[in-house]
Amino acid sequence: MEDISISPMGAYAADEVLRLYAAVGWTNYTRRPEMLRRAVEGSLLVLEARHNGRLVGLVRAVGDGASILYIQDLLVLPEYRRRGLGTRLLRAALESCPDVYQTVLLTDGTAEHAAFYEQAGFTNAAVYGCAAYVIIK
């Protein structure tokens, strides 16, 4: 995994970003490529993981970097999973805003996701008496 570099995303390359989102099955984004472009370009932070020049992972965060950091997307190509790359991407995003008051995310309610995020230091919001409310269009 040492030959995989993590760095801020440079210029937006629609073809490779769409390929990554498609490979992980995030069709809400792939069906709306213009929305994805605007989302990536408007993000507070986008870090990419590359292996031999190929985009193999990405973490995207929105927020103000002071009071809130919202981890919006964390993607790793299926063939690169279970090698610590998702953890490296998430850690790099968190380290980019070390003094932020709260970091939040929404994810699927699977045991696998719960284990991953809890291992990374996240706590289920229910522990704090919080609930999430969304409007999805």
pLDDT tens for 39-94 read 999 999 999 999 999 999 999 999 999 999 999 999 999 999 999 999 999 999 99
* pTM of the complete model beyond 0.75: yes
Domain ranges across the chain? 4-128
Give yes or no for residue 1 having a pLDDT over 90: no
Phi and psi at residue 134, to the nearest 5°: -135, 155
Query: For residue 76, what pLDDT is reported?
Result: 97
Query: Is 3.40.50.10310 the CATH number for 4-128?
Result: no
**How many Å apart are CA 9 and CA 18, to the nearest integer?**
14
- Compute the mean pLDDT over every residue in the chain, rounded to the nearest whole number: 95
**How many Å apart are CA 61 and CA 31, to the nearest integer?**
21
Facing residues of 111 across strands? none
pLDDT tens for 104-115 read 999 988 999 999
Q: Percent of the chain, pLDDT > 90? A: 94
Give yes or no for residue 2 having a pLDDT over 80: no
**How many Å apart are CA 117 and CA 123, to the nearest integer?**
8
